[in-house]
Amino acid sequence: MATTLDEATIARDANCRIRRSGNVAGWAFSFPSVFIVLGLSFIPMIWAAYLSLTDSNLVSAGHFVGLANYAALSKDPMLRQAFENTLLLAVMYLPVGLAAGLGVAILLNQKIKLIGFYRTCFLVPFVASTAAEGLLFGFIFDPDFGIVNAGLQAVGLPRQGFLQNPSQALVVLAIVYFWTQFGFNIVIYLAALQDIPQEVLEAASIDGAGKWSKFWHVIVPTIRPVTVFLLVWGLIDVFQFFDLVYTTTKGGPLNSTLTLVYYIWELAFNFFTAGYGAAVAYVLFFTSLIVTIAALAYGRRRRVTL
Amino acid sequence: MTGEQALLPVPGFDLAVHRARIEEAERRMRRSGWRRHLPQRWHLVLMPLSIIMVLPFVWMVLTSFMTDTEINRIPPTIWPHHLHTGGYSKVLASSDFPYWFLNSLIVSGAAVLAQLVLCSLAGYAFARIQFRGSTVMLILLLATALIPFQLTVIPTFVIFHDIGLINTLGALIVPQLTSALGIYLMYSFFQSFPRELEEAGRIDGCSRLQVFWKIVLPLARPALAALGIITFIYAWNDLFWPLIAITSSRTFTVQVGLTTFQGEHVTHWSAIMAGTVLTTAPVLLVFLVGQRRFVQAITGAVKG
């Protein structure tokens, strides 16, 4: 009896020691990361909330102005334009980007030769720096010296303004953006397709499903979570559209390519209206948060009903 | 496909016969040709598409070797007359490009080293060590992925300004020292890591740090490679924050420096293209060497 009691005490002691050493080691291992990541996200986030209630000019703290910045937001034609442009980009890019990504992923998922070569080609624009790609396409679409206009002229079509034409610039940017992001969609879809159990597709074949019905009734529903992820990811990415605008049009011509993040950057670091910039940033944050949650909720609901 | 199920070996069935039947079935399939013809004709779609994807880069390299008169000619020259390196010498000699390149190397190198250490330490702690508050911290860390940098950038600038880091490489390195994505990558890797090895190490009297350093890390090399590649590419390509945090030319990174070419060298496209070639080359090199790990990392991060 006495021995079992002793063993229990020893076990409890050991357990205690392990847990205590776990506390020390766990915190020691994770503290640097936790400190940096949380310190550089939640503290600035709260600070930004305060800034958005002031007329800070970035260098000085400014005065408390209450909700004046948020009131000004609703009457800001530039913000409205930036919002519309960003949404337009999403509308132009997302459906095509996802559909084309899935299409190519399906082709690559077959037992096809050169798959490594194709994957490399499709991923290179995603990996290379967007700043360099912006400069490159500024050159390719240059109205005077660009190869695209030279090509148009060679086949007898009129030269275009492209990035210098207010009604074309955003479309050109959407095309370039598609080119940079396409590979990512392909790779993610390809991984999802490779995860579909072969038996499911075989079962569908046995039940007499053709290629199209297999696609619509087996593949598309199975990879819906991935589609939702890519949709959310794409939306967040479009909402943060900056590098391409900065390296090509700088928001012009006539604000036709002004995007939300470019506008925030201009407000805070060019016009030094940091308080107002923070307010715009908060609007951006809540919009993308709502969109994300809505998309996730939609994805989950659809998965349950399937 | 359905034939394969019928070919499953029955207990006591001769394996050689089984294998022969599979081979026979494969030969039949090959003869009927569906495996050969059906997928291969898609090369007609994939080949032009993939060429379009890399064509802009080919054009970038070609232009970088042209003279400005060749570029400005209408219609433009497609193939440079001879390898003209004037663009490269202009970039390297008459701009601060060498500084930018070195700065980018320092920042990306520091980011890679720091993330390999800090993200694997934290990921290991969250995956393996039971400690008070670990779940809450992990959730908080992952939640930061929802906070866009554009929201935090203004106060971050003010903070870095107040501690005197603005306009130094330190301002670029500190935010890259660790990342929620990196922690998550290592966390999910260590969760699928066999426990027995660590326990053996503990019984042999190693401290947790020794176990981590001597047993766990050497076996985590694939995950570390993936993390290193992703971190390098991300740090090298970053434009937004360096653009804000750095104002003097000698402290620019390549990405920021490159954007200054826009107004300056309006007609010197060969120099600009030489700059973009030099800027994209390191990342493409890393990507081509570590492509498999890179793909694993981005698909792994999504699946988790």
What chain B residue is nearest to A281 in terms of C-alpha separation? B151
Q: What is the structure's pLDDT at A261?
A: 93
Average pLDDT of chain A to the nearest whole number = 87
Q: What is the structure's pLDDT at B211?
A: 86
Q: Quick check: A154 contacting B, CB < 8 Å?
A: yes
Q: Could you give phi then psi for residue A64, rounded to 5 degrees?
A: -75, 125
B280 to chain A, closest Cα gap in Å: 6
d(CA B62, CA B270): 9
Q: Quick check: B76 contacting A, CB < 8 Å?
A: yes
Contact yes or no for A258/A78 (Cβ under 8 A)? yes
* Structure confidence by residue, pLDDT tens digits, B39-98: 677 888 889 999 999 999 999 999 899 888 787 776 777 787 778 888 898 889 888 999
| Phi-psi sector, B205: left (phi>0), alpha (psi -120 to 50), beta | left
Average pLDDT of chain B to the nearest whole number = 85
A51 and B155: CB-CB below 8 Å? Answer: yes
Comparing CB atoms, the residue among B148, B209, B291 nearest residue A240 is B148
At residue B14 the predicted structure's pLDDT band, cuts being 50, 70 and 90, is: low
Mean pLDDT for B110-114 is 97
**Composition of chain B by helix, strand, coil, percent to 5:** 80, 0, 20
Place of tokens 């009297």: B205
| The two three-digit tokens of residue A142, written as one number | 């240059």
At residue A12 the predicted structure's pLDDT band, cuts being 50, 70 and 90, is: low
* Structure confidence by residue, pLDDT tens digits, A111-160: 778 888 998 999 999 999 999 999 999 999 988 888 898 889 888 898 88
Calculate what percentage of chain B has a pLDDT beyond 70: 85
How many Cβ atoms sit within 10 Å of the Cβ of residue A10?
10
Q: Quick check: A110 contacting B, CB < 8 Å?
A: yes
d(CA A201, CA B97): 54
d(CA B64, CA B62): 5
Q: Is B16 exposed, middle or buried (0-12, 13-18, 19+ CB in 10 A)?
A: exposed
B119 and A289: CB-CB below 8 Å? Answer: no
DSSP-derived secondary structure letter, A54? B
| The two three-digit tokens of residue A241, written as one number | 């559209």
d(CA A177, CA A89): 9
**The overall pTM is greater than 0.90:** no
B147 and A285: CB-CB below 8 Å? Answer: yes
**What is the gyration radius of the CA atoms in chain A, in angstroms?**
26
Q: Angle B189-B121-B165 (CA atoms, 0-180°, nearest 5)?
A: 120
Q: Quick check: B8 contacting A, CB < 8 Å?
A: no
Mean pLDDT for A165-171 is 92
Q: What is the structure's pLDDT at B5?
A: 45
Mean pLDDT for B16-40 is 61
Q: Angle A8-A12-B195 (CA atoms, 0-180°, nearest 5)?
A: 110
Which residues make Cβ contacts (< 8 Å) with residue A154, sequence separation at least 6?
B75
B16 to chain A, closest Cα gap in Å: 25
At residue B205 the predicted structure's pLDDT band, cuts being 50, 70 and 90, is: confident
Q: What is the structure's pLDDT at B36?
A: 46
SS3 B302: helix
Highest mean pLDDT among A114-128, A218-232, B110-124: B110-124
Q: What is the structure's pLDDT at A214?
A: 83
Q: One-letter amino acid identity for B76?
A: P
Q: Quick check: B206 contacting A, CB < 8 Å?
A: no
Contacts of A295-301 with CB under 8 Å at 24 or more apart are A295/A228, A295/A231, A295/A232, A295/A235, A296/A228, A296/A232, A298/A228, A299/A224, A299/A225, A299/A227, A299/A228, A299/A229
Place of tokens 């925030």: A264
Q: What is the structure's pLDDT at B35?
A: 45
User: What is the residue-wise DSSP string for A119-144?
Assistant: HHHHHHHHHS-HHHHHHHHHHHT-TT
Look at the alpha carbons of B161, B164, B170, B175 in this order and tell me if their dihedral is positive or negative.
Answer: negative
Calculate what percentage of chain A has a pLDDT beyond 90: 46
Mean pLDDT for B234-243 is 95
Contact yes or no for B241/B172 (Cβ under 8 A)? yes
d(CA B75, CA A267): 41
Which residues in chain B have Cβ-Cβ distances shorter than 8 Å to A49? Answer: none
- B 44-73 residues with CB < 8 A to A: 45-46, 49-51, 53-54, 56-57, 59-60, 63, 71-72
Beta bridge partners of A64: A54
Which residues in chain A have Cβ-Cβ distances shorter than 8 Å to B291? Answer: 119-120, 123
Q: What is the structure's pLDDT at B3?
A: 43
- A 255-274 residues with CB < 8 A to B: 260-261, 264-265, 268-269, 274
Contact yes or no for B71/B270 (Cβ under 8 A)? yes
Beta bridge partners of A54: A64
d(CA B35, CA A273): 63
Complex ipTM: 0.88
For the cut 50, the answer to whether the pLDDT of residue B2 exceeds it is no
Query: Which strand (E) or helix (H) includes residue A217?
Result: none
d(CA A293, CA A289): 6
Q: What is the structure's pLDDT at A105?
A: 92
Which residues in chain A have Cβ-Cβ distances shorter than 8 Å to B208? Answer: 21, 25, 29
